[in-house]
Amino acid sequence: MSLKHSYTLIAPFYDAAIDRVTRSARQRSLCALPAEAGRVLLAGIGTGLDLPYLPGGHRYVGLDLTDAMLRRALPRAVDVDFAAVQGDAQRLPFADAAFDSAVLHLILAVVPQPADCLAEIARVVRPGGSILVFDKFLRRGQPALMRRLVNPLMRRVATRLDVVFEDLLVAAPALALEDDQAALAGGWFRTIRLRRL
């Protein structure tokens, strides 16, 4: 099953499964958006769970692979300058340095090639721009046997359970780590702030 098909099927149930569990971590992550107004990419916006917590003043572009997710996001965009774009986070349809910041909430562990996604983010964020990440990651050398055992099935349906963020960062040399905090599930989920060099 393709990722697009899978998330089209998941869209009606996504909020019930994800919203309450991740809400406070999303809010904490979004507090790190710069105060000065800018153009912000929300890569993998899904059903728009971040939209109610975004500060005003910015111009937001929300990208998602599926129309089903974007249709659920649009009603949440009442208080912000927001445009929805259907597209692939691994091949972004934007020019180099088109954004001042980017938000990647629960997308790097979803896409088949997370290193490609992060490299694309580095391409479209201007030098000096910030990238906010909230997702689940293994740490280098972490056994996590159960996660690794169920990963082949889970990655076909909804999400990967084997992504090591440090490996992604090595593949994106234009990005520098500024902050990395445990967010949920004993540190499996993390909030990370990066700077585009």
Query: Mind listing the domains of the chain with CATH numbers?
Result: 3-196 (3.40.50.150)
The closest alpha carbon to 88, from 57, 43, 130, 132, belongs to 43
Q: What is the pLDDT of residue 104?
A: 98
Report the C-alpha gap between 13 and 18 in whole angstroms: 9
Question: Which of these ranges, 26-30, 78-82, 177-181, 187-191, has the smallest mean pLDDT?
Answer: 187-191
Q: Return the pLDDT at 40.
A: 98
Give dist(CA 121, CA 174) in Å, integer.
10
Encode pLDDT of 45-99 as tens digits. Answer: 999 999 999 999 999 999 999 898 899 999 999 889 999 999 999 999 999 999 9
Q: Which two tokens mark 125?
A: 């964020």
Count of all residues that appear for the chain in the document: 197
pLDDT confidence band for 167 (50 / 70 / 90): very high
The DSSP-derived string for 72-136 is HHGGG-SSSEEEEEE-BTTB-SS-TT-EEEEEEES-TTTSS-HHHHHHHHHHHEEEEEEEEEEEE
Closest CA to 189 of 145, 147, 130, 131: 147
* Total-model pTM: 0.88
Strand partners, 91: 88
What residue has token string 């954004």?
99
Look at residue 160 in the predicted model and tell me its pLDDT. Answer: 67
Complete edge-to-edge strand list for the sheet that includes strand 99-105: 81-86, 59-64, 39-43, 99-105, 125-136, 189-196, 175-184
pLDDT tops 90 at residue 184: no
Q: Which residue has the higher pLDDT, 14 or 189?
A: 189
CA atoms within 13 A on the CB side of 170: 6
Whether residue 157 is predicted with pLDDT greater than 70 in this model: the reply is no
The pLDDT value given to residue 15? 74
Q: What angle do CA 35, 59, 6 make, to 5 degrees?
A: 115
Does residue 111 carry a pLDDT above 70?
A: yes
At 151 the pLDDT is 47
